[in-house]
Amino acid sequence: MNKVLITGIEPFDGDAVNPSWQVAQALAGEHIAGAEIAVLELPCVLGVANSQLVAAIDALQPVAVICLGLAGGRAEISLERVAINLIDARIPDNAGKQPIDVPVVAGGPVGYFSTLPVKAAVQQLRRQGIPAAVSYTAGTYNCNHIFYGLRHYLETHHSRVRGGFVHIPYSHELAAAHPGKPSMALATMVEAVRTIVQVTLTVEEDVRFGDGAGH
């Protein structure tokens, strides 16, 4: 059976939980559009996260990889469009490292686009009443590092495998520790990622629309 790999990230920056991993865990073992969901928790450790991701891809041979990360302060599901070859860490990672102005992959291209149908997924999520948008910045910390590393590895080793990155907001539970920040119900985020998997496996090409969903 085909597999889809969904990854989340461990807690970081003093938070007790990371909803990206909670969402991934909730989908473990599900069957969506003829594929089984496999999940992996990645560390918030620059360099190590990508090594673990590559090993999982080689072991599972998935048809698609969807990496999840937390974007505290965002109010919607953000499907990232582009990864850049830059680490400029705003805070130390969980190993205490804080690289500044270094590439994710030395000598790699400046950037990669997601190969997920990001606009089609946003369109479907909005039909379902789930706030969603295409994002054009995944930051320069661990999430972008994972996204770029994923796309670089797929481009050079598994070019037929779709892959991309999705940022999710704070869960209500986590937002309690961050007063004033927007949040989304964990169940809604799980349903959103389930929809993204469905669209990824059933939509051949992305859609075009002019309603502002790409902004």
Which amino acid, 102? V
User: Which run of H or E residues covers position 196?
Assistant: helix 186-202
The answer to whether 44 is a known catalytic residue is no
| Nearest alpha carbon to residue 189 among 147, 143, 128 | 128
Q: State the catalytic residue, choosing from 44, 67, 76, 80.
A: 80
- Residues in a beta bridge with 84: 111
- Residues in a beta bridge with 132: 77
Distance, CA of 167 to CA of 72 (rounded, Å): 9
DSSP secondary-structure letter at 105?
A: S
Which amino acid, 5? L
Give the count of beta carbons closer than 10 Å to the beta carbon of residue 38: 19
Q: State the catalytic residue, choosing from 67, 76, 145, 167.
A: 167
Q: State the catalytic residue, choosing from 67, 143, 145, 152.
A: 143
The answer to whether 67 is a known catalytic residue is no
The answer to whether 143 is a known catalytic residue is yes
| Nearest alpha carbon to residue 142 among 181, 95, 186 | 95
Q: Which residues are catalytic?
A: 80, 143, 167
